[in-house]
Amino acid sequence: MEISGIISAIVIGAIIGVLGRLVVPGRQHIGVFTTILIGIAAALVGALIAHALGVDDTKGVDWIEWLIQIGLAALGVVAVDRARARH
């Protein structure tokens, strides 16, 4: 992977993480860096799921892929927030 691919993965992951965090109601007790990491993971896993479903390469914006990624980021934010609340 080239440096431009890494930078774009970080930027897209940050956007996905923030969008996932916005979907979750209430206050989350996780930091920005954790949100970005969750977003990067959700973007990568969501891209794999979209590819497996065959919806990753459509004409125009890949809305279904974005929705999968944002949903995964929201689940990740909830999971990490709840795990931190227990400690």
Residues 13-60: tens digit of each pLDDT: 888 888 888 888 888 888 888 988 999 899 888 888 988 998 877 787
What is the rounded CA–CA span in Å between residue 26 and residue 80? 14
pLDDT band at 76 (very low <50, low <70, confident <90, very high): very high
What is the rounded CA–CA span in Å between residue 48 and residue 68? 10
Q: Which of 75, 72, 73 is nearest to 17 (CA)?
A: 73
pLDDT of residue 5: 66
The token pair at 64 is 């279904």
Q: Which of 12, 6, 62, 64 is nearest to 38 (CA)?
A: 12
Contact 17, 48 (CB under 8 A): no
pLDDT of residue 79: 92
pLDDT of residue 72: 92
